[in-house]
């Protein structure tokens, strides 16, 4: 990644990402979906587990769904499915269900 890109999107710590994820969840609950999308995107700049990434991508997809952007919702859910979260069957079932219901 170039220095220019690094400056635009600096990496953040896992602790910062978890704090931002919490803020994103709160924004989603308050139906501030565009804010939630922005915050979930910021949290992806941290070194996170695939399980955390899967959750973020799922919720980001839900936020896109809420604003009527099904194309981007499906992209996020597809990225979550690619993580193959077999260690958390409940989480991947939710993502697969959303993808199958709205994207296929």
Ramachandran region of residue 49, left (φ > 0), alpha (ψ -120 to 50) or beta? beta
- Tell me the per-residue pLDDT of 47-90, one tens digit each, with 9 for 90 and over: 999 989 999 999 999 999 999 999 999 999 999 999 877 555 55
Number of H helices, E strands in the chain: 6, 0
What is the band of 97 on the pLDDT scale with cuts at 50, 70, 90?
A: confident
CATH assignment of the domain containing 80: 1.25.40.10
* Model confidence, pTM: 0.84
Domain count, the chain: 1
Q: Which domain holds residue 87?
A: 3-102
Ramachandran region of residue 48, left (φ > 0), alpha (ψ -120 to 50) or beta? beta
pLDDT at 94: 83
What is the band of 9 on the pLDDT scale with cuts at 50, 70, 90?
A: low
- Tell me the per-residue pLDDT of 12-34, one tens digit each, with 9 for 90 and over: 999 999 999 999 999 999 999 99
């Amino acid at each position: 990644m170039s220095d220019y890109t690094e400056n635009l999107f600096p990496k953040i710590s896992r602790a910062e990402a978890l704090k931002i994820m919490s803020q994103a969840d709160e924004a989603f609950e308050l139906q501030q979906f565009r804010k939630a999308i922005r915050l979930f995107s910021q949290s992806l700049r941290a070194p996170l587990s695939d399980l955390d990434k899967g959750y973020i991508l799922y919720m980001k997809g839900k936020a896109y769904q809420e604003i009527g952007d099904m194309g981007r919702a499906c992209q996020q859910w597809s990225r979550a499915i690619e993580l193959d979260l077999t260690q958390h069957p409940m989480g991947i079932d939710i993502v697969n269900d959303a993808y199958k219901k709205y994207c296929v």
